[in-house]
């Protein structure tokens, strides 16, 4: 497995915790991992090292502001938090890391962020892989969030979240549930951004995802402006990189091998 290197990067708003695997690799642009609504670098577990070894590229994961080991945030997130991350905070991190060309893999809301980031960085993003990404606000998503919020009322369940986020755990939980369940967020979707995604896209989704139906990846692959592939994993829930890690690694590696460096639609 690839060795990891940890560092902190200052961007407007605070310090970002970053972990890099296979940093010496030179066979392609790095792959950034964008975590889910309750996620962090540590929660990717062994997946980044396995992915780096399979693709022969550097893999970079980071804790968003307010999460994991990054700087805490006190104000609640705005309803435009996906666009804020994709168009402002992630580009600031890339500039500090001196990364101009890259691929993206995003889980859950991180997948939505990856697509918006690709739509903004049309000349820099080589490819996007989403897993369990939301494309709009679906009743199943809201039902899953309400059920999770109720579960986290159990101190033992909340302690598990605190393991990853420490004193930031309450903010992390509220940032997820309060925004997604708000009336202001009810009309959110990726429909406006998808046509601007010109790089190849692979949308991975579990057929038993408790936070969204297969309509999410189908909306993504139908809506993007470039090449798109769809992979529905049988007997898989909302965390494919943990439930079906080897398969996700294989799908991602094969996808990048087919499309890495391929011209975008705007270049052809």
Read off the pLDDT of residues 109-121 as tens digits, 9 standing for 90 and up.
999 999 999 999 8
Task: Determine the Cα–Cα distance for residues 237 and 250; give it in Å rounded to an integer.
Answer: 18
Q: Does 266 map to a domain?
A: no
Task: Determine the Cα–Cα distance for residues 123 and 189; give it in Å rounded to an integer.
Answer: 23
- pLDDT for 267 beyond 50: no
- Of the listed ranges 113-122, 198-207, 214-223, 246-255, the least confidently predicted one is 113-122
If you average pLDDT over residues 29-36, what whole number do you get? 97
Give me the percent of the chain exceeding a pLDDT of 90: 90
Task: Please count the structural domains in the chain.
Answer: 1
DSSP structure class, residue 94: H
Secondary structure, 3-state, 59-71: EEEECCCCCCCCC
For 151, other C-beta atoms within 10 Å of its C-beta total: 12
- pLDDT for 264 beyond 80: no
Q: What strands lie across the sheet with 59-62, from one edge to the other?
A: 4-11, 14-21, 59-62, 31-34, 102-107, 125-131, 201-206, 228-233
Q: Does 210 map to a domain?
A: yes
Q: Does 70 map to a domain?
A: yes
If you average pLDDT over residues 252-263, what whole number do you get? 79
Q: Does 265 map to a domain?
A: no
Q: Does 264 map to a domain?
A: no
pLDDT at 122: 75
- pLDDT for 2 beyond 80: no
pTM higher than 0.75 for the full model?
Answer: yes
For 45, other C-beta atoms within 10 Å of its C-beta total: 12
Range of the domain at 41: 4-258
User: pLDDT band at residue 263, thresholds of 50, 70 and 90?
Assistant: very low
Say which residue the tokens 């080897």 belong to: 246
pLDDT at 27: 65
Q: Does 142 map to a domain?
A: yes
- pLDDT for 154 beyond 70: yes
Task: Determine the Cα–Cα distance for residues 35 and 111; give it in Å rounded to an integer.
Answer: 8
CATH number, residue 157: 3.40.50.1820
Q: Do the beta carbons of residue 21 and residue 6 sit within 8 Å?
A: no
Q: Do the beta carbons of residue 29 and residue 230 sit within 8 Å?
A: no
Q: Does 263 map to a domain?
A: no
pLDDT at 33: 98
User: pLDDT band at residue 20, thresholds of 50, 70 and 90?
Assistant: very high
Say which residue the tokens 């010109």 belong to: 198
Cα angle 26, 116, 68; round to 5? 70
pLDDT at 28: 78
- pLDDT for 262 beyond 60: no
pLDDT at 26: 59
- pLDDT for 138 beyond 80: yes
Q: Does 99 map to a domain?
A: yes
Task: Determine the Cα–Cα distance for residues 25 and 171; give it in Å rounded to an integer.
Answer: 36
Q: How do strand 201-206 and strand 102-107 relate by DSSP bridges?
A: unpaired
């Amino acid at each position: 497995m690839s060795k990891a290197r940890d560092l902190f990067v200052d961007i407007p708003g605070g310090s970002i915790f970053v972990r890099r695997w296979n940093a010496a690799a030179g066979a392609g642009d790095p792959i950034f991992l964008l975590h889910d609504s309750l996620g962090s670098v540590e929660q990717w577990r062994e997946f980044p090292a396995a992915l780096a070894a399979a693709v022969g590229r550097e893999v970079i994961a980071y804790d968003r502001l307010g999460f994991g080991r990054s700087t805490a945030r006190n104000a609640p997130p705005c309803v435009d938090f996906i666009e804020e991350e994709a168009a402002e905070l992630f580009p600031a991190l890339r500039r500090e890391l001196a990364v101009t060309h890259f691929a993206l893999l995003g889980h859950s809301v991180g997948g939505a962020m990856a697509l918006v980031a690709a739509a903004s960085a049309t000349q820099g993003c080589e490819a996007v892989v989403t897993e369990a990404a939301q494309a709009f606000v679906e009743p199943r998503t809201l039902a899953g969030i309400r059920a999770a919020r109720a579960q986290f009322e159990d101190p033992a369940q909340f302690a598990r979240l605190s393991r990853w986020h420490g004193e930031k755990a309450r903010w992390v939980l509220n940032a997820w549930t309060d925004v997604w369940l708000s009336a202001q967020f009810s009309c959110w979707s990726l429909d406006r951004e998808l046509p601007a995604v010109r790089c190849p896209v692979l949308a991975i989704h579990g057929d038993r995802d408790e936070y969204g139906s297969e309509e999410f990846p189908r909306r993504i692959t139908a809506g993007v402006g470039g090449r798109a592939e769809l992979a529905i994993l049988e007997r898989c829930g909302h965390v494919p990189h943990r439930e079906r890690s080897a398969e996700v690694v294989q799908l991602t590696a094969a996808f990048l091998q087919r499309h890495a460096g391929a011209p975008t639609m705007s270049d052809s």
